[in-house]
Every structure is written in structure tokens, then in C-alpha cells.
């Protein structure tokens, strides 16, 4: 679909016409992020006019910490969506790994913290591997498969947790500090998310494998013919997404400091909505990590802004659903226009 | 096995049986028995056996009512969803449309509307929500996978705005008794009665009308269907509207059955509908799907759920089983295919050796 400029090696070397259009499209992608940033600033300014405490340090810290966890999930989800798939399990994987970590600490408060993160990673990896395997084996859209997996994982969580809730008292102080600690007023969680987003954005630009994610999503048949191991790449994307969601589960617990079997429910939808707002295409093949992260920040800010301007929380769900749909329609509109523009521009050289 | 042996119930639904032309004698003779639906019949028997092993109450005649009543709405919604999947789309917002319709009916009733009028408005609303799904998918060309995830949240959100945190009840007892008693002189719950009617209509439309042929044609080859004059977009639009109407109808049934309406009364239950559809052997590619499959899958689903409930497995834990059913039903065709292809390759190899 859309413009092939996202795929590596789409233009011949020395073909400067293609080079120029590539640069222009890149600029447009940049503009998208600038647009999201602009809306973000407007929301923050308007909300803080209504209530100046919205821009207080504590409020902003809460805002970015909450966004940081979704942003982490957003990285994995972006990679999966770029390959033309959806991962609906991120929320339930986060929940399972968060409860697992809570359960470990409940039994042994002195359990080494790095090991806990490794276990969280392991749980995420395991879920990701199962997801990836089933998605690549079954010839149905990943939405159906991951919908099933969502409830299986949530069910495992429910069986494990029962009605049990792990409270802050069972968690070691040093672990909880990861959630609320700050360096120069910047929460650790925000730093972790920024570093992760930075690494992912760089990797996506630099390395072959993530470039092949884009090729896969753009046109799976063409990618296969060009020698991209499409199934392997889809599998990898799901494994990465699962792994990130696993680690995010441990971080989630360190931030909220209490966990039961419902942890992270609905996060799959939040993540999806946020990264689509950030410009990730629902058709696959296009979307930037940084854009996705900005989308997460914007959606999270909007959610908090709604609370501040005292819109009843019963509007949240309708708002989020409408936001996702609006973002999909908007992206579609932009793509259609961009395609038309590119076509007319290319045609103008023919004369 | 040709297409003119079809029955109204869709016993042999496929316009083109996927019999591999190169298959050996035994496989060709077993072909009709190797169908997905035959597997379902076996599974249904296994479910009944398992259920009767797990609980002595399973086979009691009174239990038939309880087996049926918990699946009726899902089975009804599975019918249009099956057709939508056959055309290569999906509607994940069915349970949200159910909730929205139930909530609207409850809201209007609580504001003094006569119940009949409230029911009619609620069902008509389903046509609107379904049309909105259809509009986004067919007119704007957006993928239904994600659009209906969006409307899943949107419709439930709207229901929440209409009735935040409260349930509306107090419906006339004459109507709410559908949750307590079967259709007179039978053991059949009302929702199953409606399901049977809708299933027969769907089967007739699907297997006996040009419209039904067109639906399969879209699923088999969208482009070819379009160029042979099938109104692809209009049919898909119609299916989404049908899905909306039936989901809304189920919303009315559901609210009356539980004698109350709440915005989150069916949250997460879209899984059940999706499971029935895919367990029925419905496939995105190749336009596979039959009404008899849906009937069998719904029966198995109901049996499994009832057996688990009699075995005192909590609803949330049942999701592991139900989710696994979904995964299994989408994996089995692929695994079978790999098996068949490997067998073919081995045969070819053997022949070449000779």
C-alpha cells in the first residue's frame, strides 16, 4: 500500500528524483510529529489556563510516568503494526508479568531485583514466542489470534491470582523506588522510556531486520520475493513486543505498587489508539517510533486533561474510541492525499 | 460431492469442495467424511460424553435449558459475523452494540417509554451502529480489524455516557421471564428459539439465493466477484448493518433475560462470538463457512461452557479454555494443510524413486 519510500532500497542509487521525493516525504513524516507536538502544547496550555496546577512538577511527573509505561508497550506494538499485524495481548502480558513479580516479592521480599526483571522479561518472551508462532502458523489475521491469546493469558493470570491482591507492603522499597524515584525531578520511568524509544528509533533506522519489518508490512508478497523472510520477521516483531510488555509489567508494578488479576486490562486498546494517533499506519508498512511515543504522550495528556477540566470519567471510553477512529480516518486522508500528490508530481516530469 | 446436494440447513455448504484433485483413492472416498463439520459432530459427542462424566446433572432434561440459555445470544450474533468473515472482514464490536442497545432500551423505558417502543428504537439503533461500521469499512476503505476495535470501545463508551455506573431494571415481568422459563411445552429457551429461526433464514439466504452465492464469491475472489457484477461494497455494508441489527436484538433479549441493562454487561464476551464463528470452520480466505458449522460450534461451545460451570470453574478461568478453542480452531487447518502437503511431497518423492 501507500508510498514505497519506507522500504529500504526503494530508489536506485543516483536517482536524484526519487531522492528528492524521499526527502520530502521524510519531511512530511517529521511534520506529523510536529503536528502532534503542537496539539500537545495546545492541550497543555488550555488545560493549565483552566487549572494552573496541571503544569505543576508533581502533576507533570505523574503524567510522564504513566505515559512512559504505555510508550514502552507502544514501541513493541509499533514494530508489530509496521509488519501489518496487531498485538492485542500487550495489556494481558503486562498484567501477567506484573502479578508474577508481585507474587515473587510476596513470598520473598529479598529476592534480587535484577533477577525479577529477568523473570518479567522471560514471561514476556514466552508469551511473545507463542503469539508469534501461532500468528505465523495460522492463516487468519493476527487480530483473531491475539484476541484469543489475550483471554488465555488473562485467564492464566486470573487462575494464578485468584482474588489475591499484592499490596505495597509486600514490595521492597528499592523496587518501588524505580517507580517513583527521580533524577533532577525527572522520573526514572520517563528516562527509561526515553532511552528505550531512542534505542528503538535508532535501531529502526540503522539495522536491516527492522527495515525488513517495514518491507513486510508494505507489501508482504514483494518482500518475500525480495528475499525478506516475512514469517520470521513477523515472529520477531511479536517476540520483541512480548518481551517489552513483560518488562513493562515489572515497571508497572514498581509504579502502582499494587497488583491483582486485572492489572493492565484495556492497555492494549490505549496503546493501539495512542500509536495510531502518533501516525503509525493501520495498514502496516509505515510509522515511526518517535511519532508513536509522541502519540502516547498526547493521548495520555488528553486523558489527564479531561480529568482536570472535570469531564466525568464516564466519557473516557467513548473519547478513546472516538479518538482512535478519528486518527485512523485522518491517517487515511493524509495517505490518500500524499499518494495523489506524489503521483501528480511524478507525472509532471513526464512532459 | 457437488453443490446441488445442498440442504436448507446447509449440510453441504461449500460451492466448491476442497477435494485435492491429486489425492489418492482412500482420501477421495473419505473426502466427504473429512470435512470440518464431521469433526464438529465428533467433538459434540465428545463434549456430551465429557459433560456427563464431569457432572451427573449434565444430561438431565432440565439442564438443556441452562445449556441453551447461555449461548443463545452469542449464537445469534455468530450468524452475521460468520457471513462477514466469509467476505474477508470482521466485526469485533458486536457485544458493544448489544450493550448499547440494551442500555438505550433501559434508558428509554426508565424515562417512561412503553417497553415495545423502547425495544423497537433499540433494535433500529443497531442498524445505525452497524451502518457506521460499514461506512468506515466500505466507504473509507479502512481495515475492519481495527475499525471495529475502535467502535467496540466507542459504542460501549457511549453506553457508559448514557447510563454511567447504574443498571436499569424493572422491565415487565411478562418479558423478563424469558430468562427463567423455556418456550411453553418445550425445554428450549426463547433465545435458542430465535436462533433457530435466524439460522434457517441465514441458511436459506446463503445457500439458496444469488445473494448467498455472491457472499461466497466475494470471499473466494473479491476482484473477480467485483468484475462479475457483484456489489461488493453494498453487500458488505448490508452485512455490517445486519450484524448491528441482530446484535441490538440480542441486546434487547439479554437485558430482558437478566432483567437489567448496564453498559458493561457484555464486556469481553466478543470472544465467545468469535470463537463460535472460527470453531465453525469459517475462514477468511476461500469463502469457507456454513450455517450448520455455526450451529454445531455453538452447541459444542454451550456444552463445554455448561460442563465447566457444573464443574464449578469460575467464568474468568473458563476463558483459558475458550481462548484455546479459538487458537486451536485457527491452527488446525494450517497444521492439517502442512500434513497434507508433506504427505503429497512424500508421495511424489516415492513415485519419482520408482
Q: What is the pLDDT of residues A22-42, one digit of tens each?
A: 565 555 555 777 878 888 888
User: Which structural domain range is residue B78 located in?
Assistant: 61-337
Residues of A in contact with B149 (CB under 8 A): 88, 143, 269, 272, 324
Angle at A25 between CA A23 and CA A29, to 5 degrees: 115
Lowest mean pLDDT among A42-46, B53-57, B146-150: B53-57
Interchain contact, A328 vs B271, CB within 8 Å = no
How many Å lie between the alpha carbon of A283 and the closest alpha carbon of chain B? 7
A316-350 and A267-277 are packed helices; what angle lies between their axes, rounded to 10 degrees? 30
Interchain contact, A144 vs B153, CB within 8 Å = no
- C-alpha A105/C-alpha A101 separation (Å) is 6
Q: Is residue B331 part of a domain?
A: yes
How many Å lie between the alpha carbon of B34 and the closest alpha carbon of chain A? 20
- C-alpha B36/C-alpha B25 separation (Å) is 20
Residues of B in contact with A88 (CB under 8 A): 149
pLDDT digits (tens, 9 = 90+) for B226-280: 888 888 999 999 999 999 999 999 999 999 989 889 988 888 888 999 999 998 8
Residues of B in contact with A220 (CB under 8 A): none
Is the CB of residue B292 less than 8 Å from the CB of residue B10? yes
Interchain contact, A152 vs B327, CB within 8 Å = yes
How many Å lie between the alpha carbon of A208 and the closest alpha carbon of chain B? 28
Interchain contact, A261 vs B316, CB within 8 Å = yes
- For chain A, say whether B312 makes contact (Cβ under 8 Å): no
Q: Which of the four pLDDT bands, split at 50, 70 and 90, describes residue B319?
A: confident
Q: Is residue B349 part of a domain?
A: no
- C-alpha B5/C-alpha B155 separation (Å) is 42
- For chain A, say whether B165 makes contact (Cβ under 8 Å): yes
Q: Is residue B251 part of a domain?
A: yes
Interchain contact, B158 vs A318, CB within 8 Å = yes
Residues of B in contact with A86 (CB under 8 A): 145-146
pLDDT digits (tens, 9 = 90+) for A153-210: 998 998 898 888 888 888 888 888 888 888 888 889 999 999 999 999 999 888 888 8
* Neighbouring C-alpha atoms within 13 Å toward the C-beta of B184: 0
Residues of A in contact with B301 (CB under 8 A): none
Cell numbers placing B176: 423478563
Residues of B in contact with A317 (CB under 8 A): 153-154, 156-157, 160
Residue B46 CB coordination number (10 Å): 13
Q: How many residues does chain B have?
A: 354
How many Å lie between the alpha carbon of B183 and the closest alpha carbon of chain A? 34
For residue B221, the domain's CATH number is 1.10.3470
Interchain contact, A325 vs B147, CB within 8 Å = yes
Per-residue confidence (pLDDT) for residue A46, from 0 to 100:
85
Per-residue confidence (pLDDT) for residue B8, from 0 to 100:
37
- For chain A, say whether B146 makes contact (Cβ under 8 Å): yes
How many Å lie between the alpha carbon of A146 and the closest alpha carbon of chain B? 9
Which chain A residue lies closest to B150 (C-alpha atoms)?
A321
Is the CB of residue B323 less than 8 Å from the CB of residue B305? no
Phi, psi values for residue B261, rounded to 5°: -130, 135
pLDDT digits (tens, 9 = 90+) for B13-38: 444 444 444 444 555 555 555 678 88
Interchain contact, A152 vs B275, CB within 8 Å = no
Lowest mean pLDDT among A9-13, B323-327, B330-334: A9-13
A-B contacts (CB, under 8 Å) = 148
Query: In chain B, how many domains are there?
Result: 1
Report whether pLDDT(A84) > 60: yes
- C-alpha A14/C-alpha A186 separation (Å) is 45
Q: Is residue B37 part of a domain?
A: no
- C-alpha A36/C-alpha B60 separation (Å) is 62
Q: What is the mean pLDDT of residues B78-88?
A: 93
Residue from B319, B329, B336 to probe the interface with A (highest A Cβ count within 10 Å) = B319
Is the CB of residue B8 less than 8 Å from the CB of residue B204? yes
Cell numbers placing A248: 513493562
Q: What is the mean pLDDT of residues B193-211?
A: 92
Report whether pLDDT(B215) > 70: yes
Lowest mean pLDDT among A77-81, A256-260, B58-62, B170-174: B58-62
Cα B70 to Cα A139, B179, B190, B314: the distances in Å are 30, 10, 11, 15
Q: What DSSP element (H or E) covers A183? A: strand A182-183
Place of cell 520475493: A225
Report whether pLDDT(B135) > 60: yes
Phi, psi values for residue A233, rounded to 5°: -70, -40
Interchain contact, A325 vs B334, CB within 8 Å = no
Q: Is residue B125 part of a domain?
A: yes
- C-alpha B57/C-alpha B354 separation (Å) is 59
Q: Is residue B344 part of a domain?
A: no
Indicate the residue of A143, A150, A154 with minimum beta-carbon distance to B90. Answer: A143
What does pLDDT average to over chain B?
Answer: 84
Residue B121 CB coordination number (10 Å): 16
How many Å lie between the alpha carbon of B94 and the closest alpha carbon of chain A? 14
Report whether pLDDT(B286) > 90: no
Residues of B in contact with A131 (CB under 8 A): none
What whole-number percentage of chain A has pLDDT above 70? Answer: 89
- C-alpha B310/C-alpha B58 separation (Å) is 8
3-state secondary structure of B15: coil
Which chain B residue lies closest to A265 (C-alpha atoms)?
B268
CA-atom Rg of chain A in angstroms: 21
Domains of chain A: 52-344 (1.10.3470)
Phi, psi values for residue A63, rounded to 5°: -60, -50
Indicate the residue of B146, B314, B327 with minimum beta-carbon distance to A328. Answer: B146
Report whether pLDDT(B65) > 60: yes
Q: What is the mean pLDDT of residues B324-350?
A: 83
Give the single-character DSSP code of A138: S
pLDDT digits (tens, 9 = 90+) for A35-62: 788 888 888 888 888 887 777 888 888 8
Cα A65 to Cα A70, A191, A307, B343: the distances in Å are 9, 9, 17, 55
3-state secondary structure of B246: helix
Interchain contact, A318 vs B317, CB within 8 Å = no
Q: Is residue B27 part of a domain?
A: no
Query: Which residues touch A130 (CB under 8 Å, ≥6 apart)?
Result: A149
Per-residue confidence (pLDDT) for residue B12, from 0 to 100:
39
Residue B57 CB coordination number (10 Å): 14
Q: What DSSP element (H or E) covers B302? A: helix B291-310
Q: Is residue B87 part of a domain?
A: yes
Residues of A in contact with B156 (CB under 8 A): 317, 321
Place of cell 508510498: A3
Per-residue confidence (pLDDT) for residue B156, from 0 to 100:
93
b (16+ CB within 10 A) / e for A309-318: eeeeebbbbb
Report the relative pairing of strands A186-187 and B168-169 from DSSP bridges: unpaired
pLDDT digits (tens, 9 = 90+) for A90-125: 999 999 999 999 999 988 888 898 999 999 999 999
- For chain A, say whether B149 makes contact (Cβ under 8 Å): yes
What whole-number percentage of chain B has pLDDT above 70? Answer: 90
Residues of A in contact with B282 (CB under 8 A): none
How many Å lie between the alpha carbon of A217 and the closest alpha carbon of chain B? 14
Q: Which of residues A345 and A44 earns the better pLDDT score?
A: A44
Per-residue confidence (pLDDT) for residue A32, from 0 to 100:
75
- For chain A, say whether B315 makes contact (Cβ under 8 Å): no
Interchain contact, B140 vs A143, CB within 8 Å = no
- For chain A, say whether B317 makes contact (Cβ under 8 Å): yes
pLDDT digits (tens, 9 = 90+) for A231-260: 899 999 999 999 999 999 999 999 998 888
Interface confidence, given as ipTM, is 0.84
Residue from B81, B149, B288, B329 to probe the interface with A (highest A Cβ count within 10 Å) = B149
Amino acid at each position: 500500500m501507500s508510498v514505497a519510500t519506507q522500504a529500504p532500497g526503494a530508489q536506485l542509487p543516483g536517482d536524484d528524483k526519487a531522492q528528492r521525493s524521499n526527502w520530502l516525504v521524510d519531511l512530511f513524516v517529521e511534520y506529523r510529529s510536529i503536528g502532534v507536538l503542537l496539539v500537545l502544547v495546545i492541550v497543555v496550555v488550555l488545560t493549565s489556563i483552566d487549572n494552573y496546577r496541571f503544569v505543576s512538577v508533581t502533576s507533570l511527573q505523574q503524567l510522564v510516568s504513566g505515559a512512559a509505561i504505555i510508550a514502552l508497550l507502544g514501541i513493541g506494538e509499533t514494530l508489530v503494526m509496521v509488519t501489518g499485524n496487531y498485538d492485542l495481548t500487550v495489556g494481558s502480558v503486562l498484567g501477567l508479568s506484573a502479578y508474577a513479580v508481585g507474587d515473587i516479592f510476596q513470598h520473598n521480599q529479598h529476592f534480587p531485583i535484577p533477577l525479577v526483571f529477568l523473570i518479567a522479561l522471560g514471561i514476556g518472551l514466552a508469551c511473545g514466542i507463542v503469539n508469534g508462532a501461532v500468528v505465523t502458523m495460522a492463516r487468519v489475521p493476527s487480530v483473531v489470534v491475539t484476541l484469543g491469546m489475550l483471554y488465555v493469558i488473562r485467564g492464566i493470570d486470573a487462575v494464578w491470582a485468584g482474588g489475591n491482591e499484592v499490596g505495597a507492603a509486600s514490595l521492597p522499597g528499592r523496587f518501588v523506588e524505580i517507580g517513583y524515584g527521580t533524577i533532577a525531578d525527572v522520573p526514572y520511568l520517563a528516562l527509561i522510556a526515553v532511552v528505550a524509544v531512542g534505542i528503538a528509533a535508532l535501531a529502526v533506522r540503522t539495522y536491516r531486520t527492522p527495515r525488513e519489518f517495514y518491507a513486510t508490512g508494505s507489501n508482504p508478497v514483494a518482500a518475500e520475493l525480495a528475499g525478506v523472510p516475512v514469517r520470521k520477521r513477523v515472529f520477531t516483531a511479536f517476540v520483541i513486543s512480548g518481551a517489552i510488555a513483560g518488562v513493562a509489567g515489572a515497571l508497572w508494578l514498581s509504579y502502582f505498587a499494587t497488583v491483582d488479576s486485572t492489572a493492565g486490562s484495556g492497555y492494549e486498546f490505549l496503546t493501539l489508539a495512542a500509536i495510531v494517533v502518533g501516525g503509525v499506519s493501520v495498514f502496516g508498512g509505515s510509522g515511526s517510533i518517535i511519532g508513536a511515543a509522541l502519540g502516547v504522550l498526547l493521548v495520555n495528556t488528553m486523558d489527564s486533561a479531561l480529568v482536570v477540566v472535570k469531564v466525568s470519567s464516564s466519557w473516557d471510553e467513548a473519547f478513546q474510541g472516538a479518538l482512535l477512529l478519528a486518527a485512523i480516518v485522518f491517517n487515511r486522508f493524509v495517505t490518500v492525499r500524499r499518494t495523489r500528490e506524489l503521483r501528480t508530481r511524478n507525472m509532471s516530469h513526464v512532459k | 460431492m457437488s453443490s446441488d446436494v445442498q440442504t436448507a440447513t446447509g449440510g453441504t455448504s461449500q460451492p466448491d469442495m476442497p477435494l485435492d484433485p491429486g489425492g489418492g483413492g482412500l482420501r477421495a472416498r473419505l473426502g466427504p467424511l473429512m470435512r470440518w463439520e464431521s469433526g464438529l459432530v465428533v467433538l459434540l459427542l465428545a463434549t456430551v460424553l465429557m459433560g456427563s462424566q464431569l457432572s451427573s446433572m449434565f444430561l438431565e432434561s432440565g439442564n438443556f435449558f441452562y445449556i441453551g440459555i447461555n449461548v443463545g445470544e452469542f449464537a445469534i450474533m455468530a450468524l452475521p459475523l460468520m457471513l462477514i468473515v466469509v467476505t474477508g472482514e470482521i466485526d469485533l464490536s458486536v457485544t458493544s452494540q448489544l450493550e448499547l442497545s440494551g442500555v438505550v432500551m433501559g434508558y428509554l423505558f426508565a424515562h417512561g417509554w412503553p417497553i415495545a417502543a423502547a425495544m423497537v428504537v433499540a433494535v433500529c439503533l443497531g442498524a445505525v451502529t452497524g451502518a457506521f461500521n460499514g461506512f468506515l469499512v466500505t466507504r473509507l476503505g479502512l481495515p475492519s480489524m481495527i475499525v471495529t476495535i475502535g467502535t467496540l470501545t466507542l459504542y460501549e463508551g457511549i453506553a457508559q455516557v448514557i447510563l454511567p455506573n447504574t443498571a436499569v431494571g424493572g422491565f415487565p415481568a411478562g418479558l423478563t421471564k424469558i430468562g427463567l422459563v423455556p418456550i411453553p411445552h418445550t425445554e428450549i429457551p426463547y433465545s435458542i428459539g430465535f436462533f433457530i429461526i435466524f439460522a434457517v433464514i441465514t441458511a436459506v439466504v446463503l445457500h439458496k439465493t444469488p445473494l448467498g452465492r455472491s457472499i461466497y464469491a466475494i470471499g473466494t475472489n473479491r476482484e473477480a466477484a467485483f468484475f462479475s457484477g457483484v456489489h461488493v461494497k453494498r453487500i458488505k455494508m448490508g452485512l455490517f448493518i445486519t450484524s448491528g441489527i441482530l446484535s441490538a436484538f440480542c441486546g434487547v433479549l439479554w437485558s430482558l433475560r437478566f432483567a437489567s441493562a448496564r453498559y458493561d454487561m457484555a464486556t469481553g464476551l466478543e470472544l465467545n462470538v468469535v470463537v463460535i464463528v472460527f470453531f465453525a470452520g469459517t475462514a477468511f480466505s476461500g469463502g469457507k463457512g456454513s450455517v450448520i458449522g455455526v450451529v454445531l460450534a455453538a452447541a459444542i461451545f454451550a456444552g463445554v461452557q455448561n460442563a465447566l460451570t457444573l464443574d464449578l470453574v469460575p467464568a474468568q478461568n473458563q476463558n483459558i479454555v475458550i481462548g484455546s478453542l479459538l487458537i486451536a480452531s485457527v491452527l488446525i487447518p494450517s497444521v492439517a494443510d502442512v500434513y497434507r502437503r508433506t504427505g503429497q511431497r512424500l508421495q511424489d518423492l516415492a513415485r519419482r524413486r520408482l
